[in-house]
């Protein structure tokens, strides 16, 4: 037994054996544990935080002695600090970490300037406070020790409350390391900081935990302790009870879709310039990918220019990434449509002055068209960046990309199918994320036999060049096909190969190419 002629002031947790209240603290500064029978003398160790930074998880240093007292600047009572073993040593605060047996193994040291360091065996650090509860109904996990003690205090230490050893940065590793312990509770509530780092970490942690047990709590302020200091302790308890069950990405409840279901989406739908096609497909929609295909020289680019012109004249902002032709040719084609003159083929059909007047007329009351200044092959990532810029910075809702084969030709040598798979996946993701409509031009493989598509061979969905992903990830697939019964060779018809919206496929009406005007118009408008 202790022989010092001194007076015992209080009982504290013992940092050596883990006893919650066996350490006697005396008025002369020495301590004696009545559980492990260890006595310490009042000489205190001078601490230099620069020297106690752990270089690895096996860093060793003697733990510091401290006393339990209230943290008035944090709103935490002495009782709470005693329960968790949170100590003060001069101007330092010590969060004592214990192993499964309750033995103190490490201390997280915080100085007055909010610098942190670790003393002891960092590799044995578990969730802070985990030695106080083994199993139970609720487990609340916070980012830091102060927040864990705050949450525990406001609910009378009823439910198990712990924290991550090193904040948001340790979320994944701490959850994995303590998975068995966490899974011992019926309900797991993550109450991380409400800043960007905390909310990113909370979703990382939730993905690692048992499905159906995890809930995410939202606070009115940055963290639990800030709520307490602002007089909103009740909001912390409310956040626990109102915590939302975590749903992995991609899972949406029906209750979240009511407003979206009832929303008027007319503004997200526009018409094709071809009546029968418009009738069958019910128009063009944002968040959809439309693929246009045809044989060589049949008129794919002419068709998408007609669609582009129709959109622009209907006051929609469009972007055009025409990788197979110069921007000059694209603009001549669009202005030529406006003028009804085929100036891309024959510039003599109009003087420079007439073309200038046609240009001014086309854009005088209608939006600007945005083009990508590049000819030939281009990097997929770069194109995706340009699409993002058009959508986010320029408010473009409709984008035409001509064509997918050139897009992947700039990629490193490799399997064309796999490259197109990756490119289509990126484009499909962009369409959904940006809520844009993308019209994509694709080439076809030559059909078997002597008859090519330019000679009237029927286009089939499986003939899309390069990859089945083009068809799979497209909402609508259109083909422009030669009319074998047209004696002049200018007749075409639009064939719907895939229609995810209505399911109706087949012939979508005849069109004809006018060599004088360069227009590709429905047969009903040719006469």
- Classify residue 251: in a domain, yes or no: no
312 and 460 together in one domain: yes
Among 225, 245, 265, where does a domain finish? 245
Do 99 and 19 lie in one domain? The reply is: no
pLDDT band at 97 (very low <50, low <70, confident <90, very high): very high
| 381: CATH | 3.40.50.300
At residue 264, the pLDDT reads: 56
For 258-269, write each residue's pLDDT tens digit.
Answer: 776 666 554 468
Token representation of residue 120: 């002891």
Residues 181 and 116 in one domain: yes
521 Cβ contact partners less than 8 Å away, ≥ 6 residues apart: 306, 511, 512, 514
Same domain, 434 and 304: yes
DSSP-based three-state secondary structure for 215: strand
The domain spanning residue 20 has which CATH number?
Answer: 2.20.25.10
- Helix, strand, or coil here: 481? strand
Flag whether pLDDT at 375 surpasses 60.
no
pLDDT for the residue numbered 202: 93
Residue 359 lies in a domain: no
417 & 457 share domain? yes
pTM of the model: 0.56
Task: State the Rg of the chain over Cα.
Answer: 35
Whether the pLDDT of residue 362 is over 80: the answer is yes
- Do residues 209 and 303 share a domain? no
Domain that holds residue 310: 277-324+370-525
Rounded to the nearest angstrom, the gap between the alpha carbon of residue 493 and the centroid of all alpha carbons in its chain is: 41
Band of pLDDT at residue 527, cut at 50, 70 and 90: very low
Q: Do 30 and 77 fall into the same domain?
A: no
> Same domain, yes or no, for 28 and 161?
no
Tell me whether residue 337 is in a domain: no
Tokens describing residue 222: 């940055």
- 86 in any annotated domain: yes
pLDDT at residue 59 greater than cutoff 50: no
E strand spans, 224-327: 244-245, 269-270, 284-285, 289-294, 318-322
Token pair 């902002």 is found at 317
pLDDT in tens, 463-517: 887 668 899 999 999 999 988 888 887 899 999 999 999 999 999 999 999 989 9
- pLDDT at 249 exceeding the cut of 90: no
* pLDDT band, residue 47 (cuts 50/70/90): very low
Instruction: Give tens-digit pLDDT for 142-180.
Output: 999 999 999 999 999 999 999 999 888 889 999 999 999
Kindly state the tokens that stand for 417.
Answer: 């199918």
439 lies in a domain?
yes
Lowest-confidence region among 54-68, 193-207, 447-461:
54-68
Total structural domains in the chain? 3
Give a yes or no: residue 272 inside a domain.
Answer: no
343 inside domain: no
- Asked whether residue 421 is domain-assigned, the answer is yes
Verify that 27 and 127 share a domain, yes or no: no
Structure confidence at residue 21 as a pLDDT band (50, 70, 90): low
| Same-domain status, 39 and 66 | no
Torsion of CA 325, 327, 333, 338, to 10 degrees: 160
Q: Which two tokens stand for residue 378?
A: 């281009």
Interatomic CA distance for residues 3 and 170, integer angstroms: 45
Torsion sign, CA atoms 147, 149, 155, 158: positive
Q: Are residues 19 and 128 in the same domain?
A: no
Q: Which of 222, 245, 268 is the last residue of a domain?
A: 245
List C-alpha distances in Å: 59 to 5, 15, 310. 37, 18, 70
Angstrom distances, CA of residue 499 to CA of 170, 250, 471? 48, 24, 10
Kindly report the CATH number assigned to the domain that includes residue 111.
Answer: 3.40.1360.10
Query: Do residues 417 and 465 share a domain?
Result: yes
């Amino acid at each position: 037994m202790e022989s010092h002629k001194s007076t015992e002031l209080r009982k504290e947790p013992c940092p050596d054996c883990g006893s919650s209240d066996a350490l006697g603290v005396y008025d002369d500064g020495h301590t004696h544990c009545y559980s492990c029978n260890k006595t310490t003398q009042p000489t205190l160790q001078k601490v230099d935080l620069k020297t106690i930074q752990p270089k690895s998880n096996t860093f060793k240093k003697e733990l510091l002695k401290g006393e339990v007292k209230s943290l008035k600047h944090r709103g935490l009572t002495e009782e709470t600090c005693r329960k968790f073993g949170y100590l003060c040593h001069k101007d330092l605060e010590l969060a004592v970490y214990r192993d499964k047996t309750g033995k103190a193994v490490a201390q997280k040291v915080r100085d007055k300037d909010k610098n942190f360091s670790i003393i002891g065996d960092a590799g044995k650090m578990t969730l802070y406070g985990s030695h106080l509860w083994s199993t139970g109904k609720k487990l609340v996990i916070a980012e830091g020790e102060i927040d864990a003690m705050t949450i525990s205090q406001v609910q009378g230490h009823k439910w198990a409350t712990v924290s991550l050893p090193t904040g948001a940065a340790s979320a994944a590793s701490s959850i994995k390391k303590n998975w068995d312990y966490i899974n011992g509770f019926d309900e797991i509530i993550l109450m991380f900081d409400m800043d960007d780092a905390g909310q990113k970490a909370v979703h990382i942690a939730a993905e690692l935990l048992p499905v159906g047990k995890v809930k995410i709590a939202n606070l009115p302020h940055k963290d639990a302790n800030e709520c307490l200091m602002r007089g909103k302790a009740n909001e912390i308890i409310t956040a626990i009870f109102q915590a939302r069950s975590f749903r992995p990405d991609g899972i949406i409840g029906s209750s979240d879709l009511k407003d979206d279901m009832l929303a008027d989406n007319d503004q997200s739908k526009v018409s094709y310039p071809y009546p029968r096609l418009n009738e069958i497909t019910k128009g063009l929609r944002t968040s959809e990918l439309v693929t246009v295909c045809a044989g060589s020289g049949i008129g794919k680019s002419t068709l998408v220019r007609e669609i582009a012109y129709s959109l622009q004249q209907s006051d929609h902002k469009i972007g055009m990434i025409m990788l197979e032709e110069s921007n000059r040719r694209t603009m001549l084609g669009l202005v030529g449509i406006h003028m009804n003159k085929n100036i891309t083929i024959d510039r003599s059909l109009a003087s420079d002055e007439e073309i200038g007047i046609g240009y001014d007329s086309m854009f005088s009351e209608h939006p600007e068209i945005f083009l990508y200044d590049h000819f030939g092959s281009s990097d997929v990532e770069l194109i995706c960046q340009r699409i993002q810029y058009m959508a986010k910075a320029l408010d473009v809702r409709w984008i035409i990309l001509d064509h997918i084969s050139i897009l992947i030709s700039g990629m490193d040598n490799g399997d064309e199918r796999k490259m197109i798979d990756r490119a289509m996946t990126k484009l499909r993701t962009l369409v959904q994320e940006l809520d844009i409509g993308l019209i994509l031009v694709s080439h076809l493989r030559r059909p078997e036999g002597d008859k090519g598509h330019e000679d009237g061979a029927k286009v089939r969905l499986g003939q899309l060049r390069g990859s089945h992903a083009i068809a799979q990830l497209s909402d609508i697939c259109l083909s422009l096909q030669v009319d074998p019964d047209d004696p002049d060779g200018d007749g075409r018809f639009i064939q719907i190969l895939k229609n995810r919206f209505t399911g109706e496929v087949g012939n979508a009406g005849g069109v004809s190419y006018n060599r004088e005007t360069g227009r590709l118009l429905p047969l009903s408008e040719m006469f």
